[in-house]
Each structure stands twice: as C-alpha cells, then as structure tokens.
Structure 1
Amino acid sequence: MRKRLTKDEVSPRSVFLDVPNMPWETTKFAGIKCKTLYSDGSGMATLLMELEPGAEVPLHEHTAIEQTYVLAGHFVDEEGECLPGQFVWRPEGNTHVAWAGKEGATILGIFLKPNIFADGRPFFTQDKG
C-alpha cells in the first residue's frame, strides 16, 4: 500500500466504476435519466445524463458552479447551445431552462451543490423517492 505524501497514513484507494453496466436511474424530470458517478451526500455530484429529444430541465438557479460536457446530441438553453465535444460552465446564480435538441443529448454534469428549481422539485441527487 502506498502512503500519503502529506500524512503518515495509507493512501485511500481509487474507486473504479463500470459505467456501461450501471443501471440508469429515473429522475423527477420527464425524459431524463442519469447514472450517478459520484455523490458526496452534500450535493456535490458527477452525473451522466441522458435526455430524450426535447426533454427539459425546468427553470432553476445554480447555487455553485456547474460544468457540462456534451457527449452526444444537442444541449441548449436561452444563452446558447452545445454539440458533441463542446463544454459549458455556469457560474453561481445563473438561472435558466435547458433542453435537449431533436436528437436528444447525453451529457456529463459536474455539480458542487444542488440547484434550486422554481417549482420546488428536488435536484437529481436529492430525495430520489
């Protein structure tokens, strides 16, 4: 076992995920499913999301920076659009609606805190019940 450089203890092990074989999770947003790749319980999360054609992430505000990388399809909001291989980040306080284009979208989203939705729905990683 390798030791840490900054403390006299064993280095924590990496966590490897077999993402293609992970099941898709349903969300409270019609036409959107996700795979939670990382979540720390406080709202920090990395999600692989699949949006059906025209699926919408309703009006919400980012409570911290959000980063999104588009893997497939077309991901759009009022300020612009992203195609495969493109990236967008949104600062804390950014308020918008986002949706998938006619071909849908597969995106990788990195969140530091849960978003706040205008209609009160919980963020993807909160209250999955």
Structure 2
Amino acid sequence: MTMSTKEMNPPELVSHIVQASVMDWQPTSFDGIEMKLLYSDDRGRSTILFKLAPGAVVPLHEHTALEQTYVLEGSLEDEDGACTAGNYVWRPGGNRHIAHAPNGAVILSIFLKPNKFDAGNRFFTEE
C-alpha cells in the first residue's frame, strides 16, 4: 500500500508550490527592476525571480554570503563578464559588483543573506 504525502509529512514539512506564473511583478527600489519573491525566511535566505528592463542597473553592492543566479532570458553583466540565458553564475560572500542588463533579463536568484548596498538601499528581504 502506498502512503500519501499527508501521511508521510507533518504539516511543517509539506511541499509548498508557489504559483509564480500568476504572481504580479512587484516594484523594487531600483529603476527598471521588478521582482517576484518566491521564498524568504527570518534568517535572510531568499529565492527571487527578477525582471530587469533593458539598461537596468543593480548599483554597487556586496554579497554578504553566497549568491547564485540562473539567467532565464537576456544577460546579466558585470566587470567579470556576462552571464547569458541558460547559464548560471555564483558569487562568494564578500563579492562586490555592479550588475547591469544591457538588453534586459529575467533571472532567478538565491541568497543566503541580504545584500548590502553602498548607497544605503535596503535589500528585498531586509526589515
């Protein structure tokens, strides 16, 4: 006899399906950048889908822990190079850069802690 998921997992361990395709894009404090917050917790971890308009810039910031980004459309570029559609980039904690999307981009980013922006902007999951 096969167990159902409800029998295998208590309520705090069930899967959480996020209907990202029907979520509205939310504005950010950066011109030309919108987001869909897919996951966040009180430890600062987050998974965010970003849409960057052509020419959008993520200003100078520091990744305070590992950052991982998969580019779904367009490209995300910095002084180290361009990460194009279908490719992945990760940055270690302490990495500082300015990212831009010359032709626009849709990216999926995973953060272990919020970024720190030099201009004082708050990161998306900071209180």
User: What is the aligned partner in structure 1 of residue 114 from structure 2?
Assistant: 114
Q: Which runs of 4+ in 1 moved over 4 A?
A: none
Q: Does 2:3 align with 1:2?
A: no
Distance 1:91 1:51 in 2: 22
Aligned residues: 121
Distance 2:42 2:33 in 1: 21
Q: Give 1:96 shift.
A: 0.4
Structure 1 gaps of 5+ residues are 5-9
User: What is the aligned partner in structure 2 of residue 7 from structure 1?
Assistant: none
Q: Does 2:34 align with 1:33?
A: yes
Q: Give 1:17 shift.
A: 1.2
Per the normalisation by structure 2, the TM-score is 0.90
User: What is the aligned partner in structure 2 of residue 97 from structure 1?
Assistant: 98
Distance 1:81 1:61 in 2: 18
Distance 2:56 2:7 in 1: 46
User: What is the aligned partner in structure 2 of residue 126 from structure 1?
Assistant: 126
User: What is the aligned partner in structure 2 of residue 57 from structure 1?
Assistant: 58
Q: Deviations over 1:80-114 (max 9, x none)?
A: 11111000000010000001022x00000000000
Task: Work out the percentage of aligned pairs sharing the same amino acid.
Answer: 52
Distance 1:99 1:113 in 2: 21
User: What is the aligned partner in structure 1 of residue 3 from structure 2?
Assistant: none
Distance 1:31 1:116 in 2: 19
Q: Counting helix residues as a fraction of each chain, which structure ranks higher?
A: 2
Structure 2 gaps of 5+ residues are 1-5
Distance 1:78 1:93 in 2: 15
Equivalent AA in structure 2 for residue 17 of structure 1: V
Cα RMSD for the two superposed structures: 1.3
